[in-house]
Amino acid sequence: MHPSLSFDQAPPISVPYRFFLAAPWFGVMAGILLAWSGGDALASRWTPEVLALTHLIALGFMLQTMCGALFQFIPVAVGGNVWRPKLVANTVQPLLLLATLLLVAGLLFSRPGLLSAAAPLFLLAIGGFVVVVALALWRTPATGMTLWALRMAIGSLAITVLLGSLMVEALAYGLSVPILELANIHLAWGLGGWALMLLAGVSYYVVPMFQLTRPYPLWFTRWFGPLLLLLLLAWSSQLLVDDARWPLLVALPLLLLVSVYAGMTLWLQYTRRRKIHDATSMCFRMAMASMLAFAISGATFFLLPELGADPRFVVWLGMLAFAGVFVSAITGMMYKIVPFLNWLHLQRLGAPLSSVPNMNKMIPPEAMTGQLRLHALAVVLLLAAVWQPGLARLAGVAFAASCAWLGWNLVGAVRRYQTFRDRIRAAGLHH
Partner 1 sequence: MSITAPLFQHHKHCDELFAAAEEACADGNWAAGEGAFALLVDQLETHFTSEEQLLFPAFEAATGMTSGPTEIMRGEHRQMRDLLAQMQAALASRDSDAFGGGAETLLILMQQHNMKEENILYPMCDNALGASDVGALLAERLKAS
State the number of binding residues for partner 1 (CB under 8 A): 33
Whichever of 348 and 425 has its CB closer to partner 1, that residue is 348
Query: What are the Cα distances from residue 341, in Å, to 217, 386, 414?
Result: 29, 38, 10
Given 340, 373, 411, 415, the residue binding partner 1 (CB under 8 A): 340
DSSP per residue, 73-108? HHHHHH----SSHHHHHHHHHHHHHHHHHHHHHHHH
Stretch that binds partner 1, among 76-84, 117-125, 188-196, 389-397 (CB under 8 A): 76-84
Stretch that binds partner 1, among 24-32, 324-332, 351-359, 380-388 (CB under 8 A): 351-359
374 neighbors 403 (Cβ within 8 angstroms): no
Give how far the C-alpha of residue 143 lies from the chain's centroid of Cα atoms, to the nearest Å: 24
CB 62 to partner 1: min, Å: 24
Which residues lie below 8 Å from residue 92, measured CB to CB, with a gap of 6+? 67, 125, 126, 128, 129
Tell me how far apart the alpha carbons of residues 135 and 140 are, in angstroms, rounded to a whole number: 9
Whichever of 207 and 381 has its CB closer to partner 1, that residue is 207
Given 219, 244, 275, 306, the residue binding partner 1 (CB under 8 A): 275
The phi-psi region of residue 424 (left if phi > 0; otherwise alpha if psi is between -120 and 50; otherwise beta) is alpha
CB 312 to partner 1: min, Å: 42
Whichever of 36 and 340 has its CB closer to partner 1, that residue is 340
Given 24, 68, 79, 332, the residue binding partner 1 (CB under 8 A): 79
Query: What are the Cα distances from residue 237, in Å, to 182, 192, 242, 243, 298?
Result: 11, 16, 9, 11, 19
- DSSP conformation class of 275: -
Per-residue binding letters, 141-170, with partner 1 (x by CB under 8 A): -x-x--------------------------
222 belongs to the binding site for partner 1 (CB under 8 A): no
Whichever of 37 and 140 has its CB closer to partner 1, that residue is 140
Whichever of 100 and 280 has its CB closer to partner 1, that residue is 280
218 belongs to the binding site for partner 1 (CB under 8 A): no
Sign of CA dihedral 189, 325, 205, 84: positive
Given 87, 175, 209, 304, the residue binding partner 1 (CB under 8 A): 209
The CA-based diameter of the chain, rounded to the nearest angstrom, is 77
Q: What is the binding site for partner 1 (CB under 8 A)?
A: 2, 4-5, 7-8, 76-77, 79, 142, 144, 205, 208-210, 212, 273-276, 278, 336, 339-340, 343, 347, 352-354, 357-361
